[in-house]
Amino acid sequence: MSWFKKKKVTLEKVDMSNLPSHIAIIMDGNGRWAKKRGLPRTAGHKVGSETFRTIATYCNDIGIKYLTVYAFSTENWKRPQDEVDAIMNLLEEYILEAFEKVRKDNIKLTFWGDRTRLSPKLQQMMNEVEEKSRDMTGIHVNVCLNYGGRDEIARATKEIATAVKNGEISVDEITEQMISDSIYSKDVPDPELIIRPSGEIRTSNFLLWQSAYSEYYFTDVLWPDFKPIELDRAILAYQNRSRRFGGV
């Protein structure tokens, strides 16, 4: 409960009985953070990975049930190879550490995205850490890695089309629920709150299906500078929204 106890700046105003159960974050702004300091972009990713550890711990401490973070998109392969390699190395480091930590901190860790393009070593580590943390009952953290919302929906479409082709279901039996059950988030409720730091106001292909009624929170703070107090601010903003879901 480290941060929760020490840091009560805005948390006092946060209604602890009305926390979002699922928060999703587009961890953006690492490159600009580094550039501002005359450092290589990879230095920004390194500090960004520390921010992720801090925020995941904080979410666990205050009782958030699910945290989904966008770590690498299906479009991020366009970046220079040394940057891609640096991000993959940081992910490896995090997973190695997670092997030790998941049971101690009661964290369930899963990965969303197309694994086939990742290195065999990384894929194996991902599978193993998922298996190791499968029965943990604390926060459930989903790391989106080679993830794209469109890719996810295209995959679900193929799966459902195959079921139709094999005569398992008819076209008329296709429902929204069936799509929800065929995507990475099948065991996880939709995020109530999606946060994007760094000043960009777009989804960049994140959780397209799941975000239908999510509340968005945008801030100019760059991800490496994102502190628990920024999360408090996002939660406060969320708690002041009127969620109508199409009703009145």
What is the SS3 assignment for 89? helix
State the minimum distance, in angstroms, from the CB of residue 26 to Mg ion. 8
Integer Cα distance of 130 and 135 in angstroms: 9
* Minimum separation from the CB atom of position 119 to ligand IPE (A): 16
- Does residue 205 carry a catalytic annotation? no
The answer to whether residue 215 forms part of the interface with Mg ion (CB under 5 A) is no
The residue count for binding Mg ion (CB under 5 A) is: 1
Nearer to ligand IPE, 27 or 139 (CB): 27
One residue of 10, 21, 54, 76 binding ligand IPE per CB under 6 A: 76
Angle of helix 120-133 relative to helix 81-104, nearest 10 degrees?
20
**What token pair was written down for 25?**
């974050």
Matching residue, tokens 């459902």: 160
C-beta of 83 vs 105, nearer to ligand IPE: 83
* Rounded-to-integer distance, Cα 127 and Cα 120, Å: 11
Sheet holding 66-73, edge to edge: 108-112, 140-147, 66-73, 22-26, 193-196, 215-218
Residue 28 annotated in active site: yes
- Which of the residues 207 through 236 are near ligand IPE (CB under 6 A)? none
Least gap, CB of 67 to ligand IPE (angstroms): 15
What whole-number distance in Å separates Cα of residue 201 and Cα of residue 199? 6
**Which of the listed partners (Mg ion, ligand IPE, none) does 139 bind, with a CB threshold of 5 to 8 Å by partner kind?**
none
Q: Please list every residue from 15 through 74 that binds Mg ion, using CB under 5 A.
A: 28
The distance from CA 204 to its chain's CA centroid, rounded to whole angstroms, is 13
List of residues contacting Mg ion (CB under 5 A): 28
| Catalytically active residues, by annotation | 28, 76
Q: Tell me which residues touch ligand IPE (CB under 6 A).
A: 26-32, 70-73, 76, 87, 198, 200, 202, 204
